[in-house]
Structure 1
């Protein structure tokens, strides 16, 4: 269950990071509210997951998921330019996150 919570928290990290950018320095109400709510939920989920998953692994997975989804979303919406190299790097990051899950019990 800790891994499910961690993955959901990583997804929420991408949401709050995107909302933070869209808040334009906290001058737009709804992106600011979305940022605050998802930040609290994401951090709370990370804290819960870290009860069963080591700090280093949990944090690396959380950041990896959040960063990958944030960049992927930005490329889909046109806020970030798309390139094959960027896509390969994102896939490499995802591969590293999966690798941490696979070797997490050693």
Structure 2
């Protein structure tokens, strides 16, 4: 794996993890009416999208955005359950597994397309 690919993967993973942070603080901002969580949300949102762009530059928009949102969805769901007393259900777990399976499938599609070119 080339150095650019490693850097892009790190940036993409970081972007997804940072998405979890800004989503949590957006909830804490209560519609951007509380100053500190609002500022944290905006700062991490900008950083997250900056890092996402690095992934898009290397892997394209489809796969990059799927990974970014997949990490964000899985992470914010976990944060919601752990910190915000949201309900854990079988349907939620199954849906997350389908999401993760789809993201992995997209990655394999990208590899197959790269071999054909």
Q: Assess same fold via TM > 0.5.
A: yes
Match of 2:35 in 1: 29
Q: Distance in 2 between matches of 1:97 and 1:16?
A: 22
1:60 to 62, 66, 71: 66
Match of 1:5 in 2: 11
Match of 1:76 in 2: 82
**Bigger shift: residues 11-20 or 77-86:** 77-86
Offset at residue 80 of structure 1 (A): 1.4
Offset at residue 48 of structure 1 (A): 1.2
The DSSP-based 3-state class of the residue aligned with 1:76 is helix
The DSSP-based 3-state class of the residue aligned with 1:24 is coil
Change (3 A) 1:4 1:100: farther
Change (3 A) 1:103 1:4: farther
TM-score (norm 2): 0.81
Offset at residue 78 of structure 1 (A): 3.9
Match of 2:3 in 1: none
Equivalent residue pairs, number? 106
| Rg larger for | 2
